[in-house]
Structure 1
């Protein structure tokens, strides 16, 4: 082989080695573990309508984050394992490595930032009210803030201080669980409860009694993201790149439309 050809071959092989090493170095430790295991573990909250919801009629999981979890697994060439979680278990599940990522509409809140990393947002919802159709005195948001009206909010949510500050005349009742909100309204002890758009939409779609009310201007708009374990910046970048691809391909928006969330999807 001529000397010049040997040099060119050496350069080509060197560049290929550098390229392979760079590609290997760019993969996060988390994604390497996922690929080695052959599956990605995704934490979900199965009661979150249109987000990560287990349909009681079919027993199947559905929602925008179920769609995106499948897309993420496919993009990595691995299987998918859903880990049932909740917002109360979110921090511990990420800290204790129960899952690789939480995909259930996790609100970006300062109080959560010490415990997890947030992806770029993909949904944004303000606070909505859910009342009853037979309560003719309260059929729109503007009817709520009056003396004698009782508003229910869940304890420990970001909505609690906002609601207390927003309503000057209505009484605010604080309950411990999200289901207790509904019970208070159904029993007549309260007139409306506060929630976000996906859960409010669930109530309006799946019950005969609920009506969804929105303020004229968004109240306490919150961005929703995916969450990964604290400090895993390389893995976070890969998740952000995945989300960017889902937005660019229009798959995120298409899923939002299928699940009735086009009103709150973030596509930029």
Structure 2
């Protein structure tokens, strides 16, 4: 047995090191438990589902700038889903540009803002059975005489704006042979480019096309002369969450059968793009 001050020092150091190792182990164990807890269990434990939305998506998940009210078909359906689960809902602001990151960093449990099914997103996310499907539409200024029909778009000198993060980027990169593609940071920037005359058209979908016709006097809608690229829309969640995925899919099946999907689509003038089967 050693009773010197040197022995006591080394003994205390050993105890301190062991204590640090214990706490590191405990923190690692706790972190692993948190990370391994499946999403559905966490939702029930916290009694809350966190839903990512894009607050600029008219008819889908839109904050009215005048009333600050959050409206849209996916807002209604998120509330219905939370009600079915018996939990509250917390809406969290997201966007198409940050969607993959927001889901995979657990910023939210599910993204519900009419997310187009694309191969790129399928690499990183689980996309649900679609509840909507939309073709592509172009928005031009009424004063723009050069753009009257869809066939006027892909021509020399025409500038086509698309928003970063949307599926329209890849679609237009593949489609346009003569027109110039302009990729901007937001949907609002698309509008500004066309309204200011710096772009001739911007690409959108049915919900946003309806918004432009209802809210912007200067805008006109250019429809494809035949089906151009109909994209299914659903919701997105993290991969490898079988319990949660099963619960979400059961909800989608239920709202298609019991009329809640159709009812919500009518409230927001989206009945033409509902996928009811």
Identify the TM-score tier after normalising by the shorter chain. 0.7 to 0.9
Q: Bigger shift: 96-105 or 66-75?
A: 96-105
Matched, 1:31 2:31: no
Q: Bigger shift: 72-81 or 218-227?
A: 218-227
Distance 1:154 1:252, change over 3 A: same
Q: TM-score when scaled to structure 1?
A: 0.83
Distance 1:43 1:175, change over 3 A: closer
Deviations along 1:75-129, one digit per CA (max 9) or x if unpaired, are 1111111111112221222122221111011111111123221110111112110
Q: Tell me how far apart the structure 1 counterparts of residues 135 and 114 of structure 2 sit (CA, whole Å).
A: 13
**Contact 1:116 1:231 survives alignment (8 Å):** no
Deviations along 1:22-75, one digit per CA (max 9) or x if unpaired, are xxxxxx943332122122111111111100001111111100000000100111
**Contact 2:116 2:167 survives alignment (8 Å):** no
Partner of 1:242: 251
Give the alignment partner of residue 204 of structure 1, picking from 189, 210, 213.
213
Q: Bigger shift: 157-166 or 220-229?
A: 157-166
Q: TM-score when scaled to structure 2?
A: 0.80
Distance 1:199 1:30, change over 3 A: same
Alignment length, in residue pairs? 241
Matched, 1:98 2:118: no
Q: Tell me how far apart the structure 2 counterparts of residues 158 and 76 of structure 1 sit (CA, whole Å).
A: 31
Q: Tell me how far apart the structure 1 counterparts of residues 75 and 153 of structure 2 sit (CA, whole Å).
A: 35
RMSD: 1.9
Matched, 1:74 2:83: yes
Stretches (4+) displaced over 6 A: none
The structure with more radius of gyration: 2
**Can you give the 5+ residue segments of structure 1 that lack an aligned partner in the other structure?**
1-27
**Can you give the 5+ residue segments of structure 2 that lack an aligned partner in the other structure?**
1-36
Q: Tell me how far apart the structure 1 counterparts of residues 98 and 168 of structure 2 sit (CA, whole Å).
A: 19
Q: Measure how far apart 1:144 and its partner are.
A: 2.6
Matched, 1:225 2:234: yes
Deviations along 1:210-243, one digit per CA (max 9) or x if unpaired, are 1112102222221111111111022111100000
3-state SS, counterpart of residue 113 of structure 1: helix
Matched, 1:55 2:57: no
**Contact 1:117 1:228 survives alignment (8 Å):** yes
Q: Tell me how far apart the structure 2 counterparts of residues 96 and 166 of structure 1 sit (CA, whole Å).
A: 33
Q: Measure how far apart 1:163 and its partner are.
A: 2.2
Partner of 1:20: none
Partner of 1:111: 120
Give the alignment partner of residue 258 of structure 1, picking from 247, 267, 277.
267
Q: Measure how far apart 1:196 and its partner are.
A: 1.6
